[in-house]
Structure 1
Amino acid sequence: MSDGPSPTILLTNDDGIDAPGLATLRTELTALGDVTVVAPASNQSGVGRTRSHTAIVRDHPWGVALDGTPADCVAYGLRGLDTDFDVVVSGVNNGPNAGNYVVGRSGTVGAGIESAFLGTPALAISAYHSTDFFLSPPEEYDFARPARIARRLVARALDAGVYDDVDLLNVNAPVDASSPPVILTEPYHDYEQDVEHVSPEGVAADGALSSDLELDGVDPDDLASDEHVVRLQDRTWPGVVGWESPFPPTDEHRERYPVGTDRRALVDAAVSVSPLSVTHASPDSAALADVVETISVE
């Protein structure tokens, strides 16, 4: 950092205020600036930028715990506290957030998007293991390296004026690589969805039992005669490979994911840094312009 005043940092996550990744990141960021935590009271993974109309706020030694989503936490922190924050940091998430579709669904990234819409730059930091991939249970992993990377990126990005052009940095860092390369990336664009019809007995065509239905509070016996259940499952995350790493370090995956994409960085056990914009910029379309000119409203 320069010799100017230390930055004021709003810290949140989507794994909940008691998650080890947040605790490690708070310790690291405290060496950089003044840190206030506003984080969900419970796990809010996968909620994207979902917002609530009301939320209960509880005092916490680091700040507050909020019964709501990561985006709720950011909205409260930036507009409900008497502090002008220089940057919002979200994480460290248990598991990576890579790929365009996953980034859009992530609560960790959703907090950063909410921050950017409210005019404050943000960094979302997620951790992965190059072999285990998902950090489960998180208490068995060390989040120190991703936390250090986040601190260094925040400091240098603020100093260098990165946020003059960028709304949000989405970062994925390995916990197990001793000196991982840091790569400028963009989210990889691929997505597919499997839709499977479930029998009245709660069994899918692949023979799976009704555990998914039970988790969702669905009892097949309670369905009406004109109702049935469908199971929706991503094919790209993690989908076809179960809960193992969908990005193993193989030649096949290196060919599938081009250099410069966040998913290729995960294959190579690197740190991916993807600059994102929340402007939803409109592409030029001569065809659409012609259509609009020919539309008449009777």
Structure 2
Amino acid sequence: MSDSVSPVHILLTNDDGIDAPGIAAMREELTALGEVTVIAPAENQSGVGRARNELAIRQDHPWGYALEGTPADCVAYGLRGLDTDFDIVVSGINDGPNAGNYIVGRSGTVGAGIEAAFLGTPAIAVSSYHARDFFCHPPEEYDFSRPARVARAVTERVCNAGVFDDVDLLNVNAPIDVPNPRMRVARPLADYDQQVDHHDDTDLLPDGDRDGGLDDDERLVRLRDVSWPDTVGYENPFPPRDEYRDRYPVGTDRRAMVDGEVSVSPLSVHHGHTEDPKLASVVESLSEQVE
């Protein structure tokens, strides 16, 4: 760390659980920047978004605390339950990417950052991907040191650059297997659909659920996210071939992943606000009719 950068107080969390290798790699790198306090879920909480709980059990941990709750619970507790003024919240490293608007919205890794932003603390959410394997699973078989170094570099630079004057949260996706990857500011791509299947039996339910089968007026409905178009299961939706580069526009987070780059997406957690004169006209006309 350069002499001009003051040590920072960092709250570190994740959604894969406090024992995940990604958060260990992140902590090792971030300790070079300042004081790191870890408050992370006791168990895996992937895909919970920014869900919150009213009650959570806290357990002592050598790095800080493990919380039997969600990533957002961990951030809420850290920012309001400890006598520490944190400069920034870092969430990750997630063992898989969080790219695309829909995925970002459901990510527990990003959800932790959203909670931080609403509580007035800037945040960085960091996820990893493998250019060939895509998902870094099982995580124990992957080395998270490269995305951890990326996260450290981003954290160090943005803390004193005024980035968070207008940005609430940075969402970062970094490759594990690409040496010296290029960094690109990228927007999350809106690329999502839903597939619905109907079934007449309960074979898809966990053992013991509805052993008596379905009633005559019931059908089992299966809702499946089409988060990665033309992809079945956990195969790589971004193989490095030209047809995929053509599909995803330059400047999007998914195109950055196809090209083996680090995507850095500046996000606002307040969902924006659009001035629409047509809506204003409708509301005005309705106000004259509704008594």
Q: If the length of structure 1 is used for normalisation, what is the TM-score?
A: 0.93
- Equivalent of 1:242 in 226, 230, 233: 233
- Equivalent of 1:251 in 219, 242, 253: 242
The answer (yes or no) to whether the contact 2:192–2:229 under 8 Å persists in 1 is: no
CA–CA separation in structure 2 for the residues paired with 1:232 and 1:220: 21
Q: Deviations over 1:34-61 (max 9, x none)?
A: 0000000000000000011111111101
CA–CA separation in structure 2 for the residues paired with 1:239 and 1:51: 33
Q: Deviations over 1:15-47 (max 9, x none)?
A: 000000000100100011100000000000000
CA–CA separation in structure 1 for the residues paired with 2:143 and 2:194: 33
CA displacement at 1:220 relative to structure 2:
5.7
CA displacement at 1:243 relative to structure 2:
1.0
Match of 2:290 in 1: 297
Pairing 1:20-35 to 2, within 5 Å after superposition: 20-35=21-36
The answer (yes or no) to whether the contact 2:202–2:213 under 8 Å persists in 1 is: no
Q: Deviations over 1:255-284 (max 9, x none)?
A: 110000000011011100000011222101
Match of 1:70 in 2: 71
CA–CA separation in structure 1 for the residues paired with 2:202 and 2:12: 45
Gaps of at least 5 residues in structure 1 are: 203-209
Pairing 1:101-112 to 2, within 5 Å after superposition: 101-112=102-113
Amino acid in the other structure paired with 1:40: P
> Alignment partner of 1:160: what SS?
coil
Q: Deviations over 1:47-87 (max 9, x none)?
A: 00001111111110100000000000000000001100000
Match of 1:85 in 2: 86
CA–CA separation in structure 1 for the residues paired with 2:18 and 2:202: 39
CA–CA separation in structure 2 for the residues paired with 1:275 and 1:99: 13
Q: If the length of structure 2 is used for normalisation, what is the TM-score?
A: 0.95
Amino acid in the other structure paired with 2:42: A
Q: Deviations over 1:174-222 (max 9, x none)?
A: 00001111111010011100010122153xxxxxxx3xx228x744634
The answer (yes or no) to whether the contact 1:233–1:239 under 8 Å persists in 2 is: no
Aligned pair 1:19/2:27, yes or no? Answer: no
Q: Identity over the aligned pairs, expressed in percent?
A: 65
Match of 1:170 in 2: 171
CA–CA separation in structure 1 for the residues paired with 2:106 and 2:19: 22
The answer (yes or no) to whether the contact 2:75–2:116 under 8 Å persists in 1 is: yes
Change in Cα spacing, 1:248 to 1:289, as seen in structure 2 (3 Å) is same
Change in Cα spacing, 1:9 to 1:200, as seen in structure 2 (3 Å) is same
Match of 1:54 in 2: 55
Match of 2:278 in 1: 287
The answer (yes or no) to whether the contact 1:95–1:128 under 8 Å persists in 2 is: yes
- Equivalent of 2:212 in 221, 226, 242: 221
Aligned alpha-carbon RMSD (Å): 1.5
* Farther off after superposition, 266-275 or 242-251: 242-251
> Alignment partner of 2:172: what SS?
strand
CA displacement at 1:249 relative to structure 2:
1.2
Amino acid in the other structure paired with 1:91: G
After TM superposition, which residue ranges in structure 1, 4 or more long, deviate above 4 angstroms?
A: none
Match of 2:142 in 1: 141
Gaps of at least 5 residues in structure 2 are: none
CA–CA separation in structure 2 for the residues paired with 1:201 and 1:281: 42
CA–CA separation in structure 2 for the residues paired with 1:191 and 1:13: 25
CA displacement at 1:3 relative to structure 2:
2.9
The answer (yes or no) to whether the contact 2:13–2:39 under 8 Å persists in 1 is: yes
The answer (yes or no) to whether the contact 1:168–1:277 under 8 Å persists in 2 is: yes
CA–CA separation in structure 1 for the residues paired with 2:202 and 2:272: 47
Amino acid in the other structure paired with 2:179: S
